[in-house]
């Protein structure tokens, strides 16, 4: 029989090395099994804490509605509620003082406050001649309450146009007084043939209304 010859360069591993290799394989298997187990993720503090509630602005109180009744009173006297007339007059050197009377002819109480608007005008179409009356502050401005049939008055001063030179004044005879009751836009026309200035010369002045039918004395 021929003896079995070993191939050169290939040696059997030593028994000690085989044992060590087996131990390493076993350890590797254990490490792999432990590392393959799923790990429990750490819970996030931000995800587990409740969401912060935004701070809201304090509620705005709804405005309260006043339950008190509105204060009412007599309405201003409309032109159609008044009978406007010329009352007593008094002449003086250089002019005349004329009373304008306002009588409430309506069935309701009304009020007058302030100054009437007054100017001298021609015959229709009632073109104004010269300047309208300026306001005279001699009489204090107060509210006048007129019951049905009651009267108030204003004092109109008309300066004679002949007091001024012809070139300055251009004297012209009027045909009517145009009178607006206080705070009204509808006028009344009363016949008046006073001489006035066609030029811008102040010949008229009027007081605030006052109670009563008036007197020039």
- Are residues 204 and 120 in contact, defined by beta-carbon separation less than 8 angstroms? yes
What stretches in the chain show pLDDT beneath 70?
1-71, 216-217
* Domain map (residue ranges) of the chain: 75-211
* The pLDDT of residue 163: 94
pLDDT score of 134: 98
pLDDT, one tens digit per residue, over 172-196 is 999 999 999 999 999 999 999 999 9
- pTM exceeds 0.85 for this model: no
Q: Which CATH number fits domain 75-211: 1.10.1140, 2.40.10, 2.30.30, 2.60.40?
A: 2.60.40
pLDDT of 215 reads: 74
CB atoms within 10 A of CB 202: 12
Instruction: Say how far apart CA 146 and CA 105 lie, in whole Å.
Output: 10
């Amino acid at each position: 029989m021929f003896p079995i010859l070993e191939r050169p360069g290939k040696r059997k591993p030593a028994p000690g090395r085989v044992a060590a290799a087996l131990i390493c394989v076993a350890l590797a298997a254990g490490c792999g099994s432990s590392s393959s187990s799923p790990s429990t993720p750490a819970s996030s503090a931000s995800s587990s804490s409740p969401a912060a509630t935004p701070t809201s602005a304090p509620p705005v109180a709804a405005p309260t509605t006043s339950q008190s009744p509105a204060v009412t009173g007599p309405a201003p006297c409309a032109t159609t509620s008044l009978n406007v007339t010329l009352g007593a007059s008094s002449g003086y050197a250089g002019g005349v003082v004329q009373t304008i009377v306002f009588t409430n002819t309506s069935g309701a109480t009304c009020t007058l406050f302030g100054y009437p608007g007054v100017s001298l005008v021609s015959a229709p179409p009632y073109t104004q001649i010269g300047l309208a009356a300026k306001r005279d502050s001699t009489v204090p401005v107060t509210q006048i309450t007129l019951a049905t049939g009651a009267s108030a008055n204003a004092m109109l001063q008309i300066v004679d146009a002949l007091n001024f030179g012809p070139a300055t004044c251009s004297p012209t005879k009027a045909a009517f007084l145009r009178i607006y009751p206080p705070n009204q836009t509808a006028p009344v026309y009363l016949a008046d043939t006073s001489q006035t200035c066609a030029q811008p010369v102040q010949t008229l002045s009027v007081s605030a209304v006052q109670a009563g039918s008036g007197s020039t004395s």
